Amino acid sequence: MSPATSFGLSEAAACVFAPRPDDHKYRRGLVELRTGSLAYPGAAVLGAEAAARGGAGFVRYAGPHAVASRVLDRRPETVCASGGHDADVVVAGSGVEDPGDPRLVDAVRRARGGSATVLDATALQAVPTEDPAVPGAVLTPHAGELAQLATRLVGRRIRVRDVEGDPEGIAAEVARATGAVVVAKGHRTIVASPDTLAVVVAPTSWLAVAGTGDVLAGLVGALGATAAHRDPVPPLAELAAAAAWLHGRAGALAAARVLDPAAPADDVLDDVSRAHRPVGGPVTALDVADALSGVIAAVLAR
């Protein structure tokens, strides 16, 4: 495998598409969210917001009725009926309590068949140890989840500190074991496929709050679904890295807007020398999801 490449604005821009005159909601891409539970309804709301702000044409939610009504309170355009068109991307796991939930079991089956599927949080536990091939999947573990997943799949005990010491190596091992794209989240997010490795550095650490991972999962879904209707379709690893890059920029924009609500989105696109310093103020996961539209608009305007 070649050494890790660093992922930036020009690579992300190749994964962001403006709507064409002959597009309609389905051609803009359909994301199905299999997220949330009675214990964690917020994860479903956050993913729906991110999928919509990330440019999907159609966001469908599959989950408990009580969770669906929370999603609809925030995003009434979400379709909560089952059936209809096939999803371009399924996003599964954020905020789901039970790894045996049929929504996750079916998502793993879909990923095994090669269809684009984001497996986040609890869905990572639904990947079987004995038969872990999920070539359609984008796996989105944080360091704790990656340590657990790698321990199961590569056959030796891997601790969180091992992941923190060598996220590239462990993400790459899991990518080879599963055939999937692995997005090892953190300040430096590693995006590994069985034969590629990219690093996305976040421009802010205000992202380190609960729920921002749920936002990232929804955004991967939106970029994947939109790209599914383009020719050529960018590789899943590039789409996942673009999502991580845009997510970091949205975090920076949301943090900057704490100081100055009119801060322009274009200002966060370029790397800034003080990026590692705590520019801005505390953000919420919903702030980050909200900021995605502005960051995408700024990328398209360049």
Ligand X SMILES: Nc1ncnc2c1ncn2[C@@H]1O[C@H](COP(=O)(O)OP(=O)(O)O)[C@@H](O)[C@H]1O
Q: Site residues (CB under 6 A) for ligand NAX?
A: 40, 42-43, 94-96, 121-122, 142-144, 160, 210-211, 213-214
Q: Are 192 and 147 in contact (CB under 8 A)?
A: no
* Shortest distance (Å) from residue 291 CB to ligand X: 14
How far is it, in rounded angstroms, from Cα 246 to Cα 242? Answer: 6
Burial of 13 (0-12, 13-18, 19+ CB in 10 A): middle
Which one of residues 42, 54, 93, 211 is an interface residue with ligand X (CB under 6 A)? 211
Q: Please identify, among the stretches 26-34, 101-109, 207-215, 294-302, the one whose residues bind ligand X according to the rule CB under 6 A.
A: 207-215
Binding of residue 37 to ligand X (CB under 6 A) = no
Q: Please identify, among the stretches 11-19, 29-37, 75-83, 183-191, the one whose residues bind ligand X according to the rule CB under 6 A.
A: 183-191
Identity of the residue, 79 or 243, whose beta carbon is nearer to ligand X in the bound complex: 243
Identity of the residue, 93 or 234, whose beta carbon is nearer to ligand NAX in the bound complex: 93
End-to-end CA distance of the chain: 32
Positive or negative, the CA dihedral 131, 137, 138, 140 is negative
Q: Where does 199-235 have alpha helices with state H?
A: 212-227
Which of ligand NAX, ligand X, none is residue 54 near (CB under 5 to 8 Å by kind)?
A: none
Binding of residue 142 to ligand X (CB under 6 A) = yes
* Shortest distance (Å) from residue 19 CB to ligand X: 26
Binding of residue 216 to ligand X (CB under 6 A) = yes
Joined tokens for residue 82: 């089952």
Q: Please identify, among the stretches 13-21, 161-169, 200-208, 229-237, the one whose residues bind ligand X according to the rule CB under 6 A.
A: 200-208
Q: Which of 117, 89, 50 is nearest to 291 (CA)?
A: 50
Which of ligand X, ligand NAX, none is residue 208 near (CB under 5 to 8 Å by kind)?
A: ligand X
Binding of residue 275 to ligand X (CB under 6 A) = no
> Is residue 68 within a helix (H) or strand (E), and if so which, with residue range?
helix 65-74
Joined tokens for residue 9: 């604005």
Q: Which of 265, 279, 224, 256 is nearest to 50 (CA)?
A: 224
Q: Which residues bind ligand X (CB under 6 A)?
A: 142, 185-187, 189, 202, 205, 207-208, 210-214, 216, 247
